[in-house]
Amino acid sequence: MAAGGVVGLLAERIRAGECLFTAWVGLPEATIPELLVGYGFDTATLDMQHGAYDVATAIRGIAAVALMHKPTIVRVAVGDFATASRMLDHGAAAIIAPMINSVADAKAFVSFTKFPPIGDRSWGPRRVLTLTGLDHPGYLAAANSFQLAIAMIETREAIAALDDILAVPGIDGVFVGPSDLAIALTDGATVDPHSKAVDEALHHVCARAKAHGKFAAAYCFTGARAKELAERGFSLCSIASDALLMRGAALAELKAAH
């Protein structure tokens, strides 16, 4: 088992050079991420930004995924770094923070997700101690290394500040939100996550992350796109979402029935 138990698996596998595929879950029912990781996803991302997860349902979701011996990622709402700390206390393996557009944003994010001397995260581990198998001193000494802080890159400002964001101690990786980035790069003219401009930005983000010794991740709408980005050097890719997967399966079966 990884250092940090099931919680540490995400960091261990990414650092070993693997690309992990995450289920993206917005429906706040713990059995959904549990089932998806049981079907073979490496991890599940619980979405508190655009999904319906709140603190209570996210805590239950983390526990349900852990029952399948898989780690959980949580995407918090914009600027909700206090919730990021609470999710780490309850065993999240990583936090994805949206709209990290500057060094100041990155430092604020780190301050809530890393213990001193890197950040200023307050002490209050809950379920994470059970999931890691660590005692208090052991967890304090190791948590910064295996609970990951992932900054979302989804605006012109973030692209311009990318190297500075990546240079912030405690930022472990960056995550591209292609739809928001498409909107930003076209000044609101279109939302095309597969445009040439977005694809060029993905290449740039991945290259700069590697140059800083960190990793790149991205939201992918299909398994084929996830495979493509994995082959291009990304370390973490989503595949659709719970709602999109259900929609696709439902439409396919209804078409077959008719």
Assess whether 50 carries a catalytic annotation: yes
Q: Is the pLDDT reported for residue 134 higher than 90?
A: yes
Query: What is the C-alpha to C-alpha distance for residues 54 and 39, in angstroms, rounded to an integer?
Result: 24
Per-residue confidence (pLDDT) for residue 2, from 0 to 100: 76
Q: Which range marks the domain in which residue 100 is found?
A: 5-257
Q: What is the pLDDT of residues 21-75, one digit of tens each?
A: 999 999 999 999 999 999 999 999 999 999 999 999 999 999 999 999 999 999 9
Q: What is the pTM of this model?
A: 0.97
Structure tokens at 225: 């796109």
Q: How many domains does the chain have?
A: 1
Residue-averaged pLDDT of the chain: 97
pLDDT value at residue 65 = 98
CATH code, 90: 3.20.20.60
Question: Mind listing the pLDDT tens digit for each residue in 146-168?
Answer: 999 999 999 999 999 999 999 99
**Residue 129, token pair as written in the block:** 């101690």
Structure tokens at 58: 């996210």
Residue 7 pLDDT greater than 80, yes or no:
yes
- Per-residue pLDDT of 199-217, as tens digits, reads 999 999 999 999 999 999 9
Q: Which of 50, 69, 136, 194 is catalytic?
A: 50
pLDDT of residue 1: 63
